[in-house]
Chains A and B, each alone.
Chain A
Amino acid sequence: MDPLILSRIQFGANISFHILFPAITIALGWVLLFFKLRYNATGDSAWMRAYFTWVKVFALSFAMGVVSGVTMSFQFGTNWPGYMETVGNIAGPLLAYEVLTAFFLEAAFLGIMLFGFRRVSNRIHTLATVLVAGGTTVSAFWIIALNSWMQTPAGFEMRDGKAHALDWWAVIFNPSMPYRLMHMLLASGLTVSFLVAGLSALRYLVGDRSESMWKALRTGVFTAAILIPIQIFAGDQHGLNTLEHQPQKIAAMEANWNTGPNVPLVLFALPDEAAKENKFELAIPDGASVVLRHSVSGVVPGLNDYPGNHPPVFPVFWGFRIMVGTGILMLIVSWSAAFFLKRRHSLPKLLALIMVPMTISGWVATLAGWYTTEIGRQPWLVTGVLKTADAVGPVAGSHVALTLAVYLILYVLLLIAYLSVLVHLALKAAKDGDASPLPGAMNAALSQQAAGE
C-alpha cells in the first residue's frame, strides 16, 4: 500500500476530526463571556443557567480539540518529516508561538473557568473566561497564519533547499492570511450560533419553555442572522484573493477548463479530468465572469493552463458547492427564525424541526470549505516550494494502514459519543428547565459538575 495516499488520508481524517472542535470552542468562549456579562449586568439567573449548560459543552469540545490537536503535532514528525525539514524554519516558530501564547493560557485558565466560580472572585472568574476565549482566538490566529503561508508563501528565501525567513511580518501577514482568518473566525461564529440555536430548538420541541432556553435560542438565532451576510461578503473577498494568488484553485472550484471571458457559473456538473470537460453541466451564462470579475467579459482562469499542476477538480468543485449551499440554507433558516422571534415572539414547530439538524450545519460548511481550500492547494504542500509527495516519511504502508484504520474507528466512535452527550445535555437541561439549582445557590450546580470532572 502506498504510504503517501494513506498518510494523506490519515492526516486529512485527523485534521477534519480536529477542526470540528476548535470551530466550536473559538466562538463558544465568546458566547459564554456574553452570557456571563449579561448575568453580571442584569443579575438574571437565567443567563447563568445558560452559562452552566454551555460551559459543559465547551469543556467537552475543548478536551476533544486538545487530544486531537496533540495527535497532529506528532503526525508532522511521524508521517511528514519532509515538511519540517524543508520549511521548519518558518512553520516551527509559528507553531511555537501558538503553544506559548495560546495553549498554556487556555489550559491554565480553563480550570478556573470551569471549577473556580466559588474559589475566585466573580471578577477573576469573568477574567478567566476572557482569557480562555482570547486564547482560543489567538491560537486560531497562529495556525491560520501558518496555513495561509503554505497557501501563499511570502517573506522568505530558499537556501540549500530549505526555507529561511527574511521578514517575519511578511511571513505572518502573508497575502491570504487576513482573508482566511476572518473567514474562519466567522465560520466558528456561525458553527456555534447554529449549535446553540439547534440544541435550544430541540429543548423547545420537547416542551421546554424556560428562560434559559429562550435566552440561548435568541442568542444563537440572532448571532447567526447577523453573521451570515458578513460571512458571505468575507467569503467573496477571500475568493477574489484566491483568484489573484492561486488561480488554479479558482479554476478547479468553478470547473472551468479554458481561460477566457464570458465564463458560465456552473451550478451542477460531474467534472471529468481525463476528458477535460464537464458532464451533465447546468450553468448560468457569464455567471462566473460576473462573480469573479464583476463583468461579463471578465477573464476567468482555466485548468488547461496548468497541465499536471492543478488540484483534483471533482472534490474542489463539489466541496465549494456544498459550502455555499449550506451557507444559503443558513441564511434562509436564521433569517426566518429571527423574523419569528423578533416579530411574533414565538417559533413555529416546523422551523424548530428544521433547526435541529441544522445544529451541525456549521460543521458541514466548515469541513467543505477546508476541503476546498486544502485539496485546492494540491499537488503542493507549500505552494511553489514543496510538493506533498516529497514530504512523506519512510514509514511502511502497512503501518500507516493499521494506524489509519484504528484512528478512523476511534473518531467515528468518539463522534457518536460526543453527539449523544450533546443531545443528553440538552434534554437534561430541558427537563430541569428553570428548576435547576439557582446561581444564587450556585454551589450546588458547581459542585455537581466538579464532582464529575
Chain B
Amino acid sequence: MTFDWPTALPLIFAGLMGLAILIYVILDGFDLGIGILFAAADDAEQDTMIAAIGPFWDANETWLVLAVGLLLVAFPMAHGTILTALYIPVFLLLLGLILRGVAFDFRAKVPAGKKQRWNRIFFLGSATASLAQGYMLGVYVLGLDVGFGGMAFGALVALCLSAAYAAMGSAWLIYKTEGGLQRKAVRWLRTTLVLTALGMVAVSLATPFASPRIFDKWFLWPEILYLSPLPILSALLFLWLWRQTFHLPRPDDRHALRPFLTLAAIFALGFAGLAWSFYPYVVPDRLTIWQAASAPESLAFILVGTVVVLPIIIFYSFYAYRVFGGKATDLTYD
C-alpha cells in the first residue's frame, strides 16, 4: 500500500484534534472542577485553590482554542454543522468561560468588599461552562438532532461531566495542597467519583443504542474483543482509585499526584472509547473526516508548523508546570 497524503492528512488531523480535546478536558477539567468546588470552600481555602491553578489556567484554556481551531481549520464543514446545531449550549459555554476567566483576575484586584461577588461569579462561570460541555457531549453522542429525551440525556451527562471535573479538581488539590484543605479534597473526590462513574456508564450505554452502526462496532465478534480492554481497564482504575481515597493523604504525602494521574488515565480511556465508536465520522453518521476535511495543500501547510511547534509547546508547558511545582500554599503565603 502506498502512502497517500490526501487520505492520511485528515486522519492525522483527526488524531491531533482528539489529542487537543483530551488534553483540554484533563487540564481545564481540573481548573473548572476547582471552580465548582469553590461553593464548598471558605475564604482562605478559596485563595489557596486559586493559587493552585492561577499560573496555569490561561495555557490550559488555550488547548480548547487549539481544539476548536483544528476543527475549524481541518474540518470546516463539520465546524459549521456542529456549532450551528449546538448554538445555545455553545453560547452558554462561552458565557461560562468569559465569567470564569475574568473572575480570576477581578477577584484579586477589586476593593476587598467586592471580592465575594467575584468569587460567586467564578463558581457560576465554572459550573456553567462544565454543564454546557457535558450537555454538548451528551447531544453529540446521540447524533446532534435530539428531541426532549435527548435533551434530558444531555442534562444527565452535563451533571456527570461536571462531577467528573470536580473530581479532577479534587485530585489536583490533593496534589497541590496540604492540611485541612487536602483532607477536604479527599472527601470531595470520593463523592464526585461516584457521579463520574455513573456518567461514564450512561454515555457508554447510550452510545451504541443511538446508532446501529456503533452497536455493531461494539457487540459483533470480533470487534467486541478489541473494545473490551477499555471498559475493563476503566473499571479497575475506578476501583483502585476508590480504595486509594480511604488512605489519603499518605504519610509524607507520598504519591499525592497519583489520584490525578489515575483520573486522567480514566478520562483518556473513555475518550479512546468515544473515538473508536465514532471513527470515521466527525459529525455522527453524517460526515466523515474525509468529507469534511480542508484541501490537502492547506493541511500540509499547517502540519509542517504543527510538527515543529507542538513539541516545543509541550516542552515549555512542562517547564511552566515545573516552575510552579510543589504545594500551592507556598506560592501564596511566604
Residue B8 lies at the interface, judged by CB distance under 8 Å to chain A: no
Are the C-beta atoms of A78 and B91 separated by less than 8 Å? yes
Are the C-beta atoms of A451 and B51 separated by less than 8 Å? yes
CB-based nearest B residue for A116: B323
Are the C-beta atoms of A66 and B84 separated by less than 8 Å? no
Of A64, A449, A453, the most chain B CB neighbours within 10 A belong to: A453
Are the C-beta atoms of A74 and B98 separated by less than 8 Å? no
What 1/0 flags go to B278-298 for Cβ under 8 Å of A?
000000000000000011011
Q: Which residues of A contact B183 (CB under 8 A)?
A: none
What 1/0 flags go to A62-91 for Cβ under 8 Å of B?
111011111101101110011011001110
Are the C-beta atoms of B298 and A90 separated by less than 8 Å? yes
Instruction: Write the nearest CB–CB distance from A234 to chain B, whole angstroms.
Output: 29
Are the C-beta atoms of B313 and A60 separated by less than 8 Å? no
CB-based nearest A residue for B300: A93
Q: Which residues of B contact A101 (CB under 8 A)?
A: 305, 309
Are the C-beta atoms of B108 and A449 separated by less than 8 Å? yes
What 1/0 flags go to B71-82 for Cβ under 8 Å of A?
111101101111
Q: Which of A73, A93, A114, A119 contacts B302 (CB 8 A)?
A: A93
Residue B104 lies at the interface, judged by CB distance under 8 Å to chain A: yes
Which residues of chain B (283-334) have a CB below 8 Å from chain A?
Answer: 294-295, 297-298, 301-302, 305-306, 309-310, 313, 316-317, 319-320, 323-324, 331-334
Looking at the complex, which of A105-113, A187-195, A297-305 is the stretch in contact with chain B?
A105-113
Q: Which residues of A contact B201 (CB under 8 A)?
A: none
Q: Which residues of A contact B69 (CB under 8 A)?
A: 73, 95-96, 99
* Chain A interface SS verdict (over half): helix
Of A81, A393, A450, the most chain B CB neighbours within 10 A belong to: A450
Report the bound CA distance from A76 to B69 in whole Å: 10
Tally chain B residues at the interface, Cβ within 8 Å: 71
Residue B229 lies at the interface, judged by CB distance under 8 Å to chain A: no
CB within 8 Å for A67 and B97 given contacts A81-B81, A414-B102, A425-B109: yes
Which residues of chain B (46-83) have a CB below 8 Å from chain A?
Answer: 47, 50-51, 54-56, 58-59, 61-62, 64-66, 68-74, 76-77, 79-83
Q: Which residues of B contact A70 (CB under 8 A)?
A: 61, 64-65, 94, 97-98
Q: Which residues of A contact B305 (CB under 8 A)?
A: 93, 96-97, 100-101
Residue B223 lies at the interface, judged by CB distance under 8 Å to chain A: no
Report the bound CA distance from A451 to B91 in whole Å: 31
CB within 8 Å for A56 and B109 given contacts A103-B62, A114-B55, A453-B50: yes
Are the C-beta atoms of A95 and B73 separated by less than 8 Å? yes
Are the C-beta atoms of A96 and B302 separated by less than 8 Å? yes
Are the C-beta atoms of B332 and A450 separated by less than 8 Å? yes
CB within 8 Å for A410 and B95 given contacts A119-B323, A168-B301: yes
CB within 8 Å for A84 and B76 given contacts A71-B94, A101-B309, A424-B111: yes
Report the bound CA distance from A106 to B305 in whole Å: 17
Instruction: Write the nearest CB–CB distance from A174 to chain B, whole angstroms.
Output: 16
Are the C-beta atoms of B298 and A165 separated by less than 8 Å? yes
Report the bound CA distance from A67 to B105 in whole Å: 12
Are the C-beta atoms of A107 and B55 separated by less than 8 Å? no
Are the C-beta atoms of B298 and A100 separated by less than 8 Å? no
Report the bound CA distance from A74 to B80 in whole Å: 10
Residue B106 lies at the interface, judged by CB distance under 8 Å to chain A: yes
CB within 8 Å for A66 and B320 given contacts A84-B79, A165-B301: no
Instruction: Write the nearest CB–CB distance from B261 to chain A, whole angstroms.
Output: 21
Are the C-beta atoms of A92 and B55 separated by less than 8 Å? no
Residue B152 lies at the interface, judged by CB distance under 8 Å to chain A: no
Residue B6 lies at the interface, judged by CB distance under 8 Å to chain A: no
CB within 8 Å for A92 and B298 given contacts A56-B109, A447-B333: yes
Residue B146 lies at the interface, judged by CB distance under 8 Å to chain A: no
Report the bound CA distance from A277 to B88 in whole Å: 44
Q: Which residues of A contact B79 (CB under 8 A)?
A: 76-77, 81, 84, 88
Instruction: Write the nearest CB–CB distance from A305 to chain B, whole angstroms.
Output: 35
Q: Which residues of A contact B294 (CB under 8 A)?
A: 88-89, 92
Pull 22 A–B residue pairs with CB atoms less than 8 Å apart, ordered by A: A64-B101, A64-B105, A81-B80, A81-B81, A89-B294, A92-B302, A93-B302, A96-B73, A97-B302, A97-B305, A108-B319, A109-B316, A112-B323, A421-B109, A421-B110, A425-B109, A447-B332, A450-B51, A450-B54, A451-B332, A451-B333, A453-B51
- Known A74-B94, A77-B79, A450-B54; 7 more pairs at CB < 8 Å: A63-B101, A68-B98, A81-B81, A97-B302, A99-B62, A110-B58, A111-B58
